[in-house]
Amino acid sequence: MKTVIIGAKGFVGKYLVQELEGAGHTVVPVDLPEVDLLNAEQVDALIEGARPDAVVNLAAISSVGASWKNPSGTISVNVNGTLNLLEAIRKYVPQAKALLIGSAEEYAIPEGQKALKETDPLEASNPYGISKIAQENFAQLYRKKYRMKIVCTRSFNHTGVGQTTTFALPSFVKQVAAIDKSGKPGKIFVGNLSAYRDFSDVEDVVHVYRMLLENENEFDTYNVGSGVSNKIEDLLKNVILKLTPVQIEIVVDPEKVRPVETPYLCADNSRVKKYWNGTDIRITLKKMFDHFRAEA
C-alpha cells in the first residue's frame, strides 16, 4: 500500500512510519507545516498528487489540557481539518482507506470500574472528546453517503520514548530521571493521581493501526487499548519511583489538575484482541526512564 500519514513527525507518527515501512508499505510522510489541514486547497493538492491507497490522520490537538485552553482551535483542527481531508479523499481517491484516530475521551463517564465497549454511550466531558465525537459522526456520514472506506479508532492512553511531557507519564519519568542523575533528594510535581487509565505502549498501538489498514473487512469503530487499567498513583509510586534509589517527594501542582477528570477508563479491546501484542507498561516506562536518564 501507498499510505499518506498526516502528522508523520509527531510522537505516534514516527512509530507508524516505522511500522508501515517495516511491513513493506510505501509511506508519504506529511508534516503539519508542509500541509495545513485547514487549507482545503493544500489538502486537495496533497491527495490529488499522492494518489494514495490509504490515508492516516494523526494531526490533532490531542491533549485534553490543551483543548481546555483552546476549545475553538481544537474544533477547527480536529473537525474542520478532518472534513477537508475526507473531501479530498472523496474527490480524488474514493477507494482509498482512511484511518481517523479518536479517543477514549469520547465516552460518557462510566459508572464504576468497567471496561468500555464500542457500543457504550458517548458523552465527552472535555473539548477534545467532543471534537473526536464530531469527527466520528462525519466519518459515519461519509461511509453512508459516499460508501467511503473509513476506520475510526477510540484510542486509549499510549506512551513511549518521544512523547512530550505535557502528558502525565513522560512528565513523571523525566522528572524522576533528572533527580536520579543528580543523586540528590528532590521533588516531583504532579496533577491528579487518583484516576485510573488504560496505558499502552505506542508500538502496540501502531501495530493495530497497520492491521486495521491492511485488513479489507475493517471499516468501523474500534477501541485500541490494552484492556488493563492502572491507577496513575500506583504507576508513579510502584513503578516509576522504584526506578531510582534517590528519595523523592510528590507535590501536587494545581496547574496540572484538569477541570473535569474521568475517574476510570479501561478498554474492552475484544474487537482488536487478535492484533494486540500486549507489551507490559512497566517495560515501556523503563525504556522511557533510560532515554531521559541518558538525555538529562
Q: How far apart are CA 167 and CA 169, in angstroms?
A: 6
Q: How far apart are CA 270 and CA 34, in angstroms?
A: 37
At 37 the three-state DSSP class reads: coil
**Amino acid 159: pLDDT:** 98
**Amino acid 160: pLDDT:** 98
Architecture label for domain 2-158+200-224: 3-Layer(aba) Sandwich (3.40)
**Amino acid 111: pLDDT:** 87
Contacts of 13 (CB under 8 A, 6+ apart): 5, 7, 29, 58
Residue ranges of the chain with pLDDT lower than 50?
Answer: none
**Amino acid 278: pLDDT:** 95
**Amino acid 260: pLDDT:** 66
Q: How far apart are CA 217 and CA 25, in angstroms?
A: 19
| Crossing angle between the packed helical segments 40-50 and 81-92, to the nearest 10 degrees | 40
What pLDDT digit, counting tens, does each position of 92-102 carry? 999 999 999 99
Q: DSSP secondary structure string, 54-92?
A: EEEE--S---HHHHHH-HHHHHIIIIIHHHHHHHHHHHH
CB 35 within 8 A of CB 46: yes
- Sign of the Cα torsion 149, 11, 254, 193 reads positive
**Amino acid 265: pLDDT:** 95
**Amino acid 105: pLDDT:** 93
CB 123 within 8 A of CB 64: no
Domain regions of the chain by residue span: 2-158+200-224, 161-196+228-265+280-295
Write down the pTM of the prediction. 0.95
CB 152 within 8 A of CB 136: yes
**Amino acid 258: pLDDT:** 77
Please identify, in words, the CATH class of the domain defined by 161-196+228-265+280-295: alpha beta
Q: How far apart are CA 29 and CA 102, in angstroms?
A: 20
